[in-house]
A and B are shown apart, each in its own frame.
Chain A
Amino acid sequence: MILDLHTHSIKSDDGRAKVQNYCQWIRAREIPIDGFVLTEHRQFDAESDYQALAEKHGLCILKGSEVETEYGHVLVFGVTDALVRAFDFTDIYLPLARVVEACAQYGAVPVPCHPGRKRVGMSAHLEEHGVPEGVRIVEIYNGGSRATEDEVAQAMATELNYLGIGGSDAHIVSHIGRCATRFPADITSESELAEALRGSDFEALTFREPAGD
């Protein structure tokens, strides 16, 4: 099963895509993914119910979050009510250690995203803050990053022995599915996704065309 693990809808302040149009686009363009995770900025969107939309289009639609720490932005998978109460998702100065600790306590998985980018990526903060405890996975393919930024992410993952995931970081409809992650088994819920990410059997994918093509 292939999931785009990093997408934003109009629920995010800089998102411009309606979820129904993501679904329509994936099917119309035959984008090779089976679903996607909505990782809205600085929030967990508990209120939206995409089940009917998912069934209509035969897609898996899950929800996570993208929070902000001193190491840059971090995707959180397997968000629960308890996790939402554990720290302030809207805080743009969250200590990564607090996020990692809370995720461990409540069964969620933190994944620093676009870690090769300046300012909002983890690699830019390693010199100042050191290698963080508790990070196992980073996003090595990000559909919104430059090729050189993904190369930094991949080099960091190799050096620090991190696992890698891929996500499009789509903010508009036509950018969904540029990068994704393959899992060997079907995933149907946020908790199953978190369980799969707690293991190591997944593979980051990119569907972007090489530059110059």
Chain B
Amino acid sequence: MTIERLQDVEFGEELPVFAPDTGLANVKRFALAAGWDGPRFTDHEAARAEGLPGALVPGIMSQGFLAAMIHRWAPEAQIENVDTVFRAPVIVDQSYTISGVVTDIDEDAGKVEIDLTVSNEAGETRVFGTARVKLPS
């Protein structure tokens, strides 16, 4: 179910869980388009040679996933801010899930705040943050 208006949102409401495509082909496409096509994002061996655990999903791509998740839930949402804290790298070709939940509703301003968490298969938080979103009344 998608959200159309602020009045449809409840405190504590969970957004549908989103499984982003962090496969190498998708990351390569994004990195090329964003001008971030360095080997640490597109080549596992080159990334390991830099001491990384594998090729990294660019941070701006992770933020893009968060925005995409919000728009799947509320297509008319105006995302004012996505504020992330990267606790650990998001690695290409590993599986992640993004969860989101509404933790504040400002009816006067027509805005909601959403907690966002990117977790790996072990359930460990890799990225967390919040988004402030304006919704139609």
Residues of A at the B interface (CB closer than 8 Å) are: 14, 16-18, 21, 24-25, 28-29, 144, 146-147, 171-175, 208-209, 211-213
Contacts and interface: CB of A to CB of B under 8 A. Distances in A.
Contacts, number: 55
Interface stretch (B37-45, B66-74, B121-129): B121-129
Given A28-B11, A173-B115, A212-B123, A144 B130 contact: no
Contact of B103 (A147, A171, A172, A212): A172
A174 B122 contact: no
Contacts of B101: 174
Interface of A, helix, strand, loop or mixed by DSSP: loop
Nearest to A17: B103
A30 to B, nearest CB: 11
Contact of A171 (B11, B122, B123, B128): B128
A174 B113 CA distance: 12
A8 to B, nearest CB: 11
A32 to B, nearest CB: 16
A174 B117 CA distance: 9
A147 B122 contact: yes
Contact of A146 (B83, B104, B122, B130): B122
* Chain B interface, DSSP helix/strand/loop, else mixed: strand
A102 B121 CA distance: 43
B23 interface: no
Interface in B47-103: 83, 85, 87, 101, 103
B12 interface: yes
What's the interface size class on B, roughly?
A: 20 to 34
Contacts of A211: 121-124
A172 B128 contact: yes
Query: Can you list the 7 inter-chain pairs with the closest CB atoms, starting with the nearest?
Result: A173-B103, A174-B115, A211-B123, A211-B122, A172-B115, A16-B130, A28-B12
A212 B130 CA distance: 25
A172 B129 contact: yes
A25 B130 CA distance: 15
Nearest to B88: A146
Contacts of A17: 103
A212 B116 CA distance: 19
A174 B101 CA distance: 8
A31 B123 CA distance: 19
Contacts of B12: 25, 28-29
A105 to B, nearest CB: 35
Nearest to A145: B124
A24 B102 CA distance: 11
B31 to A, nearest CB: 27
Contacts of A174: 101, 103, 115, 117
A175 B128 contact: yes
A17 B116 CA distance: 12
A24 B11 CA distance: 9
Residue of A14, A144, A172, A175 most packed against chain B (CB within 10 A): A172
A144 B103 contact: no
A175 B129 CA distance: 11
Contact of B125 (A14, A29, A144, A209): A144
